[in-house]
Amino acid sequence: MTAPTIRPAAAADIPAITDIYAEAVRCGTATFEIDPPGEAEMLRRLSGLQEGGHPYLVATFDGSVAGYAYAGPYRARVAYRYTVEDSVYIAPADRGRGVGRALLASLITESEDRGFRQMLAVIGDSDHVASIRLHEAVGFSLVGTFTAVGYKFGRWLDTVLMQRALGAGGGRKPPP
């Protein structure tokens, strides 16, 4: 199987990113958004993350975007500045091709290189076994499950919280 090319996301990727995310919003429970945002909003999100020093990556096959991933702030308060939350979305036609693992592995490396110390996964829907296994495969551990915290598609959904240390993790003081 051919490995995808992983690179930083660019504004030109926004139409594909928007389509991938719209499908996840309309058909899945990985995100608890109900209405898919348009290209202008997705570009605003991309720009905001990149301007804040957070990695945002795309995976491509032959130049076509197969998926994307980013690490965003876990929470806004300054004490959380070394902790990021990951998000990974794959185009339906490219699921099962190793895209998620390649993106998440690259996202971990990029986040470590930028000085982040903890990565959290807040996985929508405890039935999302593929995402849970993906995170386990790259070193995440289960922290816990929040039960019935989201309501979508006429049912209550859990979120699964997983965590992975980056670099020195919490073992050393972060840089000033």
Is pLDDT of 172 > 90? no
In a domain, 72, yes or no: yes
Residue 170 confidence (pLDDT): 87
Domain hosting 20: range is 5-169
Query: What three-state secondary structure class fits 89?
Result: strand
Give mean pLDDT, residues 52-79.
97
Report the alpha-carbon distance of residue 64 to residue 99 in Å, rounded: 12
In a domain, 175, yes or no: no
Q: Please, are residues 19 and 67 in contact by the beta-carbon 8 Å criterion?
A: no
Residues 141-151: tens digit of each pLDDT: 999 999 999 99
Residue 173 confidence (pLDDT): 86
Q: How many domains is the chain partitioned into structurally?
A: 1
Residues 14-53: tens digit of each pLDDT: 999 999 999 999 999 999 999 999 999 999 999 999 999 9
In a domain, 149, yes or no: yes
Give mean pLDDT, residues 153-170.
95
Give mean pLDDT, residues 70-91.
97
Residue 25 confidence (pLDDT): 98
In a domain, 61, yes or no: yes
Q: Residue 39 CB: number of other CB atoms within 10 A?
A: 14
In a domain, 105, yes or no: yes
DSSP state at residue 53: T
Report the alpha-carbon distance of residue 29 to residue 169 in Å, rounded: 30
In a domain, 174, yes or no: no
In a domain, 157, yes or no: yes
Q: Please, are residues 169 and 116 in contact by the beta-carbon 8 Å criterion?
A: no
Can you give the CATH number for the domain in which 149 is found? 3.40.630.30
In a domain, 176, yes or no: no
Is pLDDT of 166 > 80? yes
- Single out the residue of 57, 61, 56, 149 nearest to residue 97, CA to CA: 61
Residue 18 makes CB contacts below 8 A (sequence gap 6+) with 36, 37, 38, 39, 42
DSSP state at residue 110: H
Share of the chain above pLDDT 70, in %: 99
Residue 171 confidence (pLDDT): 87
Residue 60 makes CB contacts below 8 A (sequence gap 6+) with 4, 5, 7, 66
Residue linked to tokens 């499950």: 145
Residue 46 confidence (pLDDT): 98
pTM over 0.75: yes
Give mean pLDDT, residues 113-125.
96
Structure tokens at 155: 């049912």
